[in-house]
Protein backbone atom coordinates (compact mmCIF):
# COMPACT_ATOMS: atom_id res chain seq x y z
CA UNK A 1 0.00 0.00 0.00
CA UNK A 2 2.73 2.49 0.97
CA UNK A 3 4.55 2.08 -2.35
CA UNK A 4 1.36 2.82 -4.29
CA UNK A 5 0.55 5.86 -2.12
CA UNK A 6 4.06 7.28 -2.58
CA UNK A 7 3.77 7.04 -6.36
CA UNK A 8 0.26 8.56 -6.44
CA UNK A 9 1.32 11.39 -4.13
CA UNK A 10 4.00 12.43 -6.64
CA UNK A 11 1.82 11.96 -9.73
CA UNK A 12 -1.80 10.86 -9.51
CA UNK A 13 -2.23 10.83 -13.30
CA UNK A 14 -0.04 7.80 -13.99
CA UNK A 15 -2.12 5.27 -15.98
CA UNK A 16 -3.18 2.11 -14.14
CA UNK A 17 -1.22 -0.04 -16.60
CA UNK A 18 1.97 1.84 -15.78
CA UNK A 19 1.29 1.60 -12.03
CA UNK A 20 0.82 -2.15 -12.35
CA UNK A 21 4.12 -2.45 -14.21
CA UNK A 22 5.96 -0.25 -11.70
CA UNK A 23 4.61 -2.22 -8.73
CA UNK A 24 4.79 -5.62 -10.46
CA UNK A 25 1.16 -6.34 -9.57
CA UNK A 26 -1.98 -7.11 -11.61
CA UNK A 27 -3.90 -4.10 -12.93
CA UNK A 28 -7.14 -5.28 -11.28
CA UNK A 29 -5.44 -5.41 -7.88
CA UNK A 30 -4.22 -1.81 -8.27
CA UNK A 31 -7.69 -0.59 -9.28
CA UNK A 32 -9.26 -2.36 -6.29
CA UNK A 33 -6.66 -0.99 -3.86
CA UNK A 34 -7.08 2.61 -5.10
CA UNK A 35 -10.86 2.33 -4.75
CA UNK A 36 -10.49 1.03 -1.16
CA UNK A 37 -8.02 3.81 -0.29
CA UNK A 38 -10.48 6.41 -1.60
CA UNK A 39 -13.42 4.85 0.29
CA UNK A 40 -11.42 4.80 3.55
CA UNK A 41 -10.46 8.47 3.00
CA UNK A 42 -6.76 7.56 3.01
CA UNK A 43 -6.67 9.17 -0.42
CA UNK A 44 -8.66 12.29 0.38
CA UNK A 45 -8.34 14.25 -2.86
CA UNK A 46 -6.25 14.47 -6.01
CA UNK A 47 -4.52 17.82 -6.41
CA UNK A 48 -3.10 19.75 -9.35
CA UNK A 49 -0.43 22.38 -8.70
CA UNK A 50 -0.75 25.43 -10.94
CA UNK A 51 1.74 28.26 -11.28
CA UNK A 52 -0.85 31.07 -11.34
CA UNK A 53 1.87 33.70 -11.88
CA UNK A 54 2.47 32.27 -15.38
CA UNK A 55 -1.25 32.45 -16.13
CA UNK A 56 -1.35 36.10 -15.08
CA UNK A 57 -3.86 35.59 -12.26
CA UNK A 58 -3.17 37.91 -9.35
CA UNK A 59 -3.94 36.69 -5.88
CA UNK A 60 -2.63 37.20 -2.38
CA UNK A 61 -1.66 34.35 -0.10
CA UNK A 62 -1.25 35.00 3.60
CA UNK A 63 -0.10 32.90 6.49
CA UNK A 64 -1.76 33.93 9.72
CA UNK A 65 -0.49 32.79 13.08
CA UNK A 66 -3.28 32.69 15.64
CA UNK A 67 -3.16 32.51 19.43
CA UNK A 68 -6.34 31.10 20.93
CA UNK A 69 -7.78 30.17 24.28
CA UNK A 70 -8.65 26.48 24.22
CA UNK A 71 -12.24 25.68 25.14
CA UNK A 72 -13.17 23.30 27.91
CA UNK A 73 -13.71 19.70 26.72
CA UNK A 74 -12.96 20.44 23.03
CA UNK A 75 -9.56 22.16 23.29
CA UNK A 76 -8.51 23.80 20.04
CA UNK A 77 -10.75 21.75 17.74
CA UNK A 78 -13.91 23.84 17.95
CA UNK A 79 -12.19 27.12 17.07
CA UNK A 80 -10.10 25.43 14.37
CA UNK A 81 -13.30 24.08 12.81
CA UNK A 82 -14.92 27.52 12.77
CA UNK A 83 -11.85 28.86 11.00
CA UNK A 84 -11.44 26.09 8.41
CA UNK A 85 -15.10 26.41 7.36
CA UNK A 86 -14.43 29.83 5.75
CA UNK A 87 -14.04 29.62 1.95
CA UNK A 88 -10.94 31.85 2.02
CA UNK A 89 -9.09 29.38 4.23
CA UNK A 90 -6.93 26.90 2.35
CA UNK A 91 -5.18 25.17 5.30
CA UNK A 92 -5.28 25.15 9.11
CA UNK A 93 -2.69 23.47 11.34
CA UNK A 94 -2.42 23.09 15.12
CA UNK A 95 1.12 24.09 16.05
CA UNK A 96 3.46 23.88 18.99
CA UNK A 97 5.44 26.94 20.04
CA UNK A 98 4.62 30.63 20.23
CA UNK A 99 1.18 30.38 18.57
CA UNK A 100 -1.56 27.77 18.38
CA UNK A 101 -2.87 27.72 14.81
CA UNK A 102 -1.31 28.41 11.45
CA UNK A 103 -3.94 29.50 8.93
CA UNK A 104 -3.25 29.87 5.20
CA UNK A 105 -5.71 31.96 3.19
CA UNK A 106 -6.00 33.29 -0.33
CA UNK A 107 -7.65 36.48 -1.47
CA UNK A 108 -7.79 38.77 -4.49
CA UNK A 109 -6.04 41.67 -2.75
CA UNK A 110 -4.28 42.75 0.44
CA UNK A 111 -7.44 44.64 1.35
CA UNK A 112 -9.55 41.48 1.01
CA UNK A 113 -7.18 39.52 3.28
CA UNK A 114 -7.14 42.36 5.82
CA UNK A 115 -10.95 42.41 5.77
CA UNK A 116 -11.07 38.66 6.42
CA UNK A 117 -8.70 38.96 9.39
CA UNK A 118 -10.43 41.97 10.94
CA UNK A 119 -14.07 40.96 10.43
CA UNK A 120 -14.11 37.15 10.40
CA UNK A 121 -11.02 35.71 12.06
CA UNK A 122 -10.23 38.09 14.90
CA UNK A 123 -13.87 38.35 15.96
CA UNK A 124 -14.17 34.62 16.76
CA UNK A 125 -14.60 34.07 20.49
CA UNK A 126 -11.42 32.52 21.85
CA UNK A 127 -9.08 34.15 19.31
CA UNK A 128 -6.59 36.12 21.41
CA UNK A 129 -4.33 37.53 18.67
CA UNK A 130 -3.33 37.17 15.04
CA UNK A 131 -0.21 37.97 13.04
CA UNK A 132 -0.47 38.10 9.26
CA UNK A 133 2.44 37.31 6.94
CA UNK A 134 2.03 37.89 3.19
CA UNK A 135 3.75 35.54 0.75
CA UNK A 136 5.83 37.51 -1.72
CA UNK A 137 6.99 34.73 -4.02
CA UNK A 138 6.42 30.98 -4.23
CA UNK A 139 9.55 28.97 -4.97
CA UNK A 140 8.34 25.45 -4.15
CA UNK A 141 4.96 23.95 -3.33
CA UNK A 142 4.13 20.40 -2.24
CA UNK A 143 7.62 19.27 -3.22
CA UNK A 144 7.42 20.85 -6.68
CA UNK A 145 9.85 23.60 -7.72
CA UNK A 146 7.72 26.29 -9.34
CA UNK A 147 10.34 27.68 -11.73
CA UNK A 148 13.35 25.43 -12.21
CA UNK A 149 16.21 27.28 -13.87
CA UNK A 150 18.54 24.72 -15.42
CA UNK A 151 21.36 27.22 -15.89
CA UNK A 152 21.55 27.85 -12.13
CA UNK A 153 22.23 24.24 -11.15
CA UNK A 154 25.97 24.42 -11.65
CA UNK A 155 28.15 25.94 -8.97
CA UNK A 156 30.63 28.60 -9.96
CA UNK A 157 34.18 27.39 -9.42
CA UNK A 158 36.78 29.98 -8.66
CA UNK A 159 40.54 29.41 -8.41
Q: DSSP states of 3-65 as a string? A: HHHHHHHH-TTS-HHHHHHHHTS-HHHHHHHHHHHHHTTSS--------HHHHT---EEEEEE
- What is the separation of C-alpha 44 from the centre of its chain, rounded to a whole number of angstroms? 13
Task: Please tell me what DSSP assigns to residue 155.
Answer: P
Angle between helices 2-10 and 27-39 (to 10 degrees): 80
Q: What percent of the chain has pLDDT over 90?
A: 65
Average pLDDT over residues 113-117: 96
Q: Are residues 35 and 106 in the same domain?
A: no
Task: Please tell me what DSSP assigns to residue 151.
Answer: G
Nearest CA to 61 out of 107, 1, 120 is that of 107
Q: Using CA of residue 112, residue 118, residue 122, residue 125, what is the dihedral sign? A: negative
Q: Is residue 74 part of a domain?
A: yes
Q: What angle do CA 133, 136, 137 make, to 5 degrees?
A: 130
More confident residue, 154 or 56: 56
Q: Is residue 144 part of a domain?
A: no
Rg (the chain; Cα; Å): 21
Q: Are residues 66 and 128 in the same domain?
A: yes
Average pLDDT over residues 101-117: 95
Contact 116, 88 (CB under 8 A): yes
Q: Quote the pTM value.
A: 0.76
| Predicted pLDDT at 159 | 64
Say which CATH number the domain at 71 has: 3.30.70.920
- Whether residue 128 is predicted with pLDDT greater than 80 in this model: the reply is yes
Task: Please tell me what DSSP assigns to residue 75.
Answer: B
pLDDT-derived band at 60 (thresholds 50, 70, 90) equals: very high
| Predicted pLDDT at 153 | 56
Q: Is residue 80 part of a domain?
A: yes
Q: What is the mean pLDDT of the chain?
A: 90
Domain that holds residue 90: 52-136
Q: Are residues 93 and 22 in the same domain?
A: no
Q: Is residue 75 part of a domain?
A: yes
Average pLDDT over residues 3-23: 91
Q: How many domains does the chain have?
A: 2
Q: Are residues 23 and 69 in the same domain?
A: no
Average pLDDT over residues 71-84: 92
Q: Are residues 66 and 106 in the same domain?
A: yes
The DSSP bridge partners found for residue 67 are 129
Q: Are residues 27 and 99 in the same domain?
A: no
Q: Is residue 152 part of a domain?
A: no
Amino acid sequence: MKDLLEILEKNHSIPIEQLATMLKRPKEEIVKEIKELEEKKIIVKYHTIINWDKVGVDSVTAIITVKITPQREVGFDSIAERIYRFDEVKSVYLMSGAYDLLVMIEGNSLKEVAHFVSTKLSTIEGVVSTTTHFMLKKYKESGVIMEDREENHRLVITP
